[in-house]
Structure 1
Amino acid sequence: MTMPNERSRAVVMTRDFLVALSRDSSLPEKIRHDAKFLLRHYPTLDDVILAGKIEEQSNYLLPLQGPVFSSSLK
């Protein structure tokens, strides 16, 4: 089972990967364009941390599931 901090870290690392793809001039333009397109709506580190904080403080919203994200990537 994936823990909230592992999920948060994976989302942040995926964003970093997409940024790297979008800037790699050795890749085809289509790949770079698609990475940029996906990044337009992809959460930032701050978004993930904020979502984690909100979920951790709002236990009553998802009492059976628990938080999806974590305010810590550790």
Structure 2
Amino acid sequence: MTTPTERTRHLVQAGAFLRELRGNRKLPQQVRDEAHRLLRHYPTISDIEHIASVSTGSIFGNPLTTEFDPGWLRGYNNDGHRI
């Protein structure tokens, strides 16, 4: 079973991964455009923290956690390349 911390961490990391895809000029334009389209409405970290604070678990099965660890983004950056 997925824990609230795992669920939150993977949601945050998925957003970071989409940002990397969007910014990676080595990828086909179609892939970058799709990542951009998905990110237009993807929750920010602040959104995720808010959802976690009001979550009862009914949406995801297990609630999210409000504990955000900046280390979850280690290895991701905004220009689309791995660190």
Cα distance between partner residues in 1 of 2:62 and 2:43 = 16
Query: Which ranges in structure 1 are unaligned for 5 or more consecutive residues?
Result: 56-60
Shift of 1:68: 2.2
Count residues in correspondence: 68
1:72 to 55, 64, 67: 67
Query: Which ranges in structure 2 are unaligned for 5 or more consecutive residues?
Result: 70-83
Cα distance between partner residues in 2 of 1:30 and 1:46 = 28
* Aligned position for 2:21: 21
Q: TM-score, normalised by structure 1?
A: 0.80
* Aligned position for 1:30: 30
Q: CA RMSD in A?
A: 2.2
* Structure number, greater radius of gyration: 1
Q: TM-score, normalised by structure 2?
A: 0.72
Q: Give percent identity, aligned residues only.
A: 34
| 4+ runs deviating over 4 angstroms | none
